[in-house]
Amino acid sequence: MKTKFSLQDKTVLLTGGGNGIGKAISTTFANQNAKVHLLDVDMKAAEETVAEIEKKGGKGIAHSCDVSDSKQVIQLVKKIEEIDTIDILINNAGIAHVGNVEACEEEDMDRLYNVNIKGVYHCIKSVIPSMKKKRGGVILNLASIASSVGVSDRFAYSMTKGAVLTMTYSIAKDYIDDNIRCNCISPARVHTPFVDGFIKKNYPGQETQMFDKLSKTQPIGRMGQPKEVADLALYLCSDEASFITGSNFPIDGGYINLNSK
């Protein structure tokens, strides 16, 4: 008997699936009986995540892929499509940059553009033909609160995540008649290894105080957890969300609407 939010017989292509939010999505979707293809530049992390999935009886396959490289993406998608039909694409891979426009060099812009924008473009363009052919599919992009509101010292990052949001709207509009749904999730600060590494590098000896300060930037008083983002992703990619497309879903502890500062 099929349970609610089941992904039985669904194949998922997930970028950045080895760490943080991507890892939580990988394991959550596998627990719902999806077959998950994890794309990551960090193969060690991807393989460790697959091992966790398989230990619980799930199905996961790790692939080394730099999403900024169109040839790698095209070749890998073709390889996967030889054995599986891709039902769900989740564009999670992304990189960050801290700084305003004066602190953002051209190389920084290019680096973020190549991963956060072109990476999403490469993956969507690679899976759209097969989704059109089978008359259906789901695309979920990871945007950010920085797509919608101003965030201090996130110039380049905000630019790229704004593009992810508008790409989401374009794909949803252009392919609605092909039964392809496209939505995005916009997290605020989520407690991932990246956050811990950032604090340790920039605030040595003040880790506890800075973690508390960053947590309180969300009105709810804490950071989000990767599993919370993964659960929202699960709903949006499930058949239960079949009436939802072209939408942006903040998961932000009240940051966008409740922050008065």
Round to whole Å and give the CA distance between 6 and 197.
Answer: 35
Nearest residue to 172 (alpha-carbon basis) of 131, 144, 118: 131
Round to whole Å and give the CA distance between 124 and 108.
Answer: 24
Sign of CA dihedral 243, 173, 140, 223: negative
Round to whole Å and give the CA distance between 141 and 210.
Answer: 29
The pLDDT tens digits of the residues spanning 80-116 come to 999 999 999 999 999 999 999 999 999 999 999 999 9
For the purposes of burial, counting CB atoms within 10 Å of the CB of 9, is it exposed (0-12), middle (13-18) or buried (19 or more)? exposed
Taking all residues of the chain, what is their mean pLDDT, rounded to a whole number? Answer: 95
pLDDT of residue 260: 56
pLDDT of residue 6: 95
What are the beta bridge partners of residue 185?
Answer: 142, 249
Query: Which whole number is the average pLDDT over 113-127?
Result: 98
The residue assigned the tokens 């004066």 is: 102
pLDDT of residue 237: 98
Q: How confident is the model at residue 165 (pLDDT cuts 50, 70, 90)?
A: very high
Catalytic residue among 121, 157, 235, 255: 157
The pLDDT tens digits of the residues spanning 178-218 come to 999 999 999 999 998 888 888 888 888 988 998 999 898 89
Crossing angle of helices 155-174/118-133, nearest 10°? Answer: 10
Q: How confident is the model at residue 13 (pLDDT cuts 50, 70, 90)?
A: very high
Nearest residue to 151 (alpha-carbon basis) of 198, 90, 106, 214: 214
Q: Is 169 one of the catalytic residues?
A: no
Query: Is residue 261 predicted with pLDDT exceeding 70?
Result: no
Round to whole Å and give the CA distance between 246 and 241.
Answer: 12
Domains observed in the chain: 11-188+226-256 (3.40.50.720), 190-223 (no CATH)
pLDDT of residue 166: 98
- CB-CB contact of 28 with 7 (8 Å): no
Nearest residue to 59 (alpha-carbon basis) of 6, 11, 129, 4: 11
The pLDDT tens digits of the residues spanning 41-71 come to 999 999 999 999 999 999 999 999 999 999 9
pLDDT of residue 1: 61
pLDDT of residue 26: 98
pLDDT of residue 194: 82
pLDDT of residue 259: 78
Query: Which whole number is the average pLDDT over 120-126?
Result: 98
